[in-house]
Chains A and B, each alone.
Chain A
Amino acid sequence: MAEPTEIASLLERIQDGDREAFMTVIRLYQQKVFVMAYSILRNREDALDAVQETFLRLYQKAGLYKPGNSFQGWLLQMAKNISIDSYRKHQMKRREWETSKPLEEIPVAVEDRASDSAASDLRSAFERSVEKLANRQKMVFVMRHYNELQFNEISEAMRISVGTAKSLHFKAVQNLRKWLTPDLGI
């Protein structure tokens, strides 16, 4: 991660159209942005589109960054919002497509890589349960476990306090436990 002063200077240069400075910022944060997008979209190509969109937004809004705040938090917040928008659009398209196709023609195997194994059933039950979480709980859970962010980083990206982030995380785990207990065979 870059020092705040270094970031401030890079952003200034980006505002002047400096390609090298822009590439330096992309190089520093591209993987974090990708993981954030992938955690939400769960598709490599869509996640790469979201990465590009995030850096386009950064390029356009570099002047809006407030130097006292966490740059990574600000960038990940943009990545999160872009990915959620993209996810919603894909969901809508998928719903339209699915309702337009007879049930027997929908390729159910697309998501299911090992459809007949019990482990895969449990995994999809787990993923469905994560999907079912309330938005903020889901985002905190995804950021904590898939992006492996610290709670202070989550709080910066979501603009909530660290305490709220921890509490949302706790609620998320409690809900997952409640919903998954029958599948976990406890």
Chain B
Amino acid sequence: MNKCALNRDDWAAFLSGDLEEGRRRTMTEHLVKCPDCRAEADEMSRVLEKTEAVKAEIRQAVASVNWEALPAVIADRVLADAGKPEKAPRAGWFRAWAFPLRMKPVLAGLAAGLIVGAAAMYLALRTPGPRPGGDTGYYASGEFLDRAELEMARRNTLDYLEKSQYVLLDVFESAGEGGAAPTAFSSEQARDLLSKKKYLNAQLERFQMAKAKAICDQIEMLFLELSQISEELSAAELHKIRGFVEERQLLLKINLVRKELERGI
């Protein structure tokens, strides 16, 4: 801002359109004779003119909505989401009898923790009786073990995909920096990931994670080439690898599969 008689409050009020009459006259007179302030005011109004395009876009968006129908749509969804079409029923007699004071969530959590803890202690310390699995001291159902293994497979695949992404990005950066060979680090990581993939294959097949397996196989193919890369790798070879990744949109697919796995699909 230029160093003129007009102060900051004047400019703020001028912009907000509520400069009192006397000050406004003073300001207008000043703008006539001060080219610096005039230029500043001109720049400000030109900046504000730029909001017109956005305002027009907003008006267009407003015009595209069916405002008549929207309230009913929102009300239905909200009432369904809130699960509260009518007033909530009063607490039952048992609740009133067992919890004369309203328990705060923290207290409720504490109480639940104590109950669960006590149950766990009881189970851990009670005299061991005969168990279906013999004397192993631990029993888990087959279903539980399957779930645990599936979870392990999911996590291992996620880990594999994440690390693969880093390696591919590293290669991409190398290619972007004038075709230099990928760092020894990426080649070594590619070899490491190849050995992990052998272990992963069994898990992917067992749990029929077809989509994840397809993407992991493509990565494996790429890493086989990468692991054989020597320091003398030419820029053309590097670009070929990059072309392969781009053509198959490998990074995008990795991301999509990762998201699915993260959601537990």
Contact = CB atoms under 8 A, between A and B. Distances in A.
Contact of B47 (A22, A55, A173): A173
B204 to A, nearest CB: 21
A105 B65 contact: no
A60 B43 CA distance: 46
Secondary structure at chain A's binding surface: helix, strand, loop or mixed? helix
Contact of A102 (B51, B62, B251): B251
Given A44-B61, A97-B255, A126 B50 contact: yes
Contact of A26 (B58, B64, B70, B251): B70
B77 interface: yes
A56 B44 contact: no
Contacts of A34: 61-62, 65
A51 interface: yes
Contacts of A100: 165, 251-252, 254-255
B54 A146 contact: yes
Contact of A16 (B50, B82, B87, B172): B87
Interface in A172-186: 173-174, 176-177, 180-181, 184, 186
Contacts of A59: 78-79, 82, 84
Interface string A32-50: 0011001100101001100
B48 interface: yes
Interface stretch (B5-13, B95-103, B116-124, B212-220): B5-13
B82 A56 contact: yes
Interface of B: 1, 8, 11-13, 15-16, 18, 39-40, 42-44, 46-48, 50-51, 53-55, 57-58, 61-62, 64-65, 67, 70-72, 74-75, 77-79, 81-82, 84-87, 165, 172, 245-246, 249, 251-252, 254-255
18 contacts: A31-B67, A34-B65, A44-B64, A44-B65, A52-B74, A56-B82, A100-B252, A100-B254, A101-B251, A101-B252, A148-B55, A151-B18, A166-B13, A170-B15, A173-B44, A174-B44, A177-B43, A186-B39
Given A55-B78, A100-B255, A173-B15, 19 more contacts: A17-B84, A17-B85, A22-B75, A23-B71, A26-B75, A48-B65, A56-B78, A100-B165, A123-B50, A126-B47, A145-B51, A151-B18, A169-B16, A170-B16, A176-B47, A177-B43, A180-B47, A184-B47, A186-B42
Interface of A: 16-17, 19, 22-23, 26-27, 30-31, 34-35, 38-39, 42, 44, 47-48, 51-52, 55-56, 59-60, 96-97, 100-102, 104-105, 122-123, 126-127, 144-146, 148, 151, 166-167, 169-170, 173-174, 176-177, 180-181, 184, 186
